[in-house]
């Protein structure tokens, strides 16, 4: 015994009595041919995915039956083809899993399982959303922390040059002596004397002219601008 399943769509424009009559007609045909009808499922009116014979809706029926030979199917399908009320039909042989599935479906197990899966999926989605939210929040916090941490930073960087400035300020005394030393060689000597100045402006040693010294120092940075100013004044 093989089990088959035939799904067909009946045109919805017919009166209710005629639709039921048509279905009963096919059921009788199957029984007459010696088939064992397992189940007749009325799925009901469904929206068609595309119009068939200018119909936008259809009434779906599924008949499950057992038969020794497949000869009945040819007869049944011929009858379907001749019937104008039938929009579509499809006959399928069921394997053991298909039979089990249909039995489960009738018992409501499939729907239960589906609902359970849907519930699980919804739960997972919620959890993931919660996780994402938490992650976003922590990211924002981290960013805020970093911002707050990075804000005080600029102050030390400004402060550091201040220290340098202090060391650079020392040569102010030297600058006072500079006017007398327009001769390059002497300048080099006088400049070399203060150790602090030498460290701050190493280039000074190599430069010949006093003017050049000022230029070189100004190139080193804005911080040393004070020095060059003092030089110019001197």
- Residues found near other proteins in the complex (CB under 8 A): 7, 9, 43, 46, 48-50, 52, 58, 60, 62, 87-88, 90, 92, 95, 97-98, 100-101, 105, 117, 135, 139, 143, 146, 150, 153-154, 157-158, 221
Q: How far is the CB of 52 from other proteins (least distance, A)?
A: 6
Q: How far is the CB of 156 from other proteins (least distance, A)?
A: 10
Q: How far is the CB of 157 from other proteins (least distance, A)?
A: 5
Q: How far is the CB of 164 from other proteins (least distance, A)?
A: 12
Q: Which is nearer to other proteins, 104 or 169 (CB)?
A: 104
**70 within 8 A of 2, measured Cβ to Cβ:** yes
Q: Which is nearer to other proteins, 103 or 169 (CB)?
A: 103
Instruction: Please give the Cα distance from 71 to 98 (Å, whole number).
Output: 21
Q: Which is nearer to other proteins, 17 or 97 (CB)?
A: 97
Instruction: Give the alpha-carbon dihedral of 159, 163, 169, 171, to 10 degrees.
Output: -150
Residue in the block written with tokens 């499922």: 41
Q: How far is the CB of 174 from other proteins (least distance, A)?
A: 26
**213 within 8 A of 220, measured Cβ to Cβ:** no
Q: Which is nearer to other proteins, 78 or 118 (CB)?
A: 118
Q: Which is nearer to other proteins, 105 or 166 (CB)?
A: 105
Instruction: Please give the Cα distance from 63 to 71 (Å, whole number).
Output: 16
- State which H helix or E strand residue 6 sits in: strand 2-10
Backbone torsion region of residue 108, taken as left when φ is above 0, otherwise alpha when ψ lies between -120 and 50, otherwise beta: left
Q: Which residues contact 47 (CB under 8 A, 6 or more apart)?
A: 56, 57
Q: Which is nearer to other proteins, 90 or 193 (CB)?
A: 90
Residue 77, CA distances (Å) to 25, 103, 215 in order: 13, 25, 104
Residue 232, CA distances (Å) to 11, 116, 179, 221 in order: 104, 87, 10, 16
Q: How far is the CB of 101 from other proteins (least distance, A)?
A: 4
Q: Which is nearer to other proteins, 73 or 87 (CB)?
A: 87
Q: How far is the CB of 161 from other proteins (least distance, A)?
A: 8
> Which structure tokens are listed for 15?
């009166």
């Amino acid at each position: 015994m093989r089990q088959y399943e035939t799904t067909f769509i009946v045109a919805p424009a017919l009166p209710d009595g005629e639709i039921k009559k048509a279905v009963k007609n096919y059921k009788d045909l199957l029984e007459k041919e010696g088939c064992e009808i397992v189940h007749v499922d009325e799925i009901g009116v469904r929206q068609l995915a595309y119009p068939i014979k200018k119909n936008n809706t259809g009434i779906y029926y599924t008949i499950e039956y057992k038969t020794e030979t497949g000869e009945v199917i040819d007869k049944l399908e011929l009858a379907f083809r001749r019937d104008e009320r039938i929009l579509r039909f499809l006959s399928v042989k069921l394997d053991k899993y298909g039979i089990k599935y249909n039995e489960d479906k009738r018992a409501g197990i499939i729907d239960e399982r589906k609902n359970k899966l849907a519930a699980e999926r919804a739960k997972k989605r919620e959890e993931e959303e919660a996780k994402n939210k938490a992650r976003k929040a922590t990211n924002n916090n981290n960013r805020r922390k970093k911002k707050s941490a990075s804000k005080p930073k600029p102050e030390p960087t400004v402060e550091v040059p201040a220290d340098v400035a202090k060391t650079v300020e020392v040569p102010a005394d030297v600058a006072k002596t500079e006017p007398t030393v327009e001769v390059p060689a002497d300048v080099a000597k006088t400049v070399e004397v203060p150790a602090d100045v030498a460290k701050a402006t190493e280039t000074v040693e190599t430069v010949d002219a006093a003017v050049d010294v000022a230029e070189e120092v100004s190139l080193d940075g804005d911080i040393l601008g004070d020095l060059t100013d003092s030089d110019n004044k001197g």
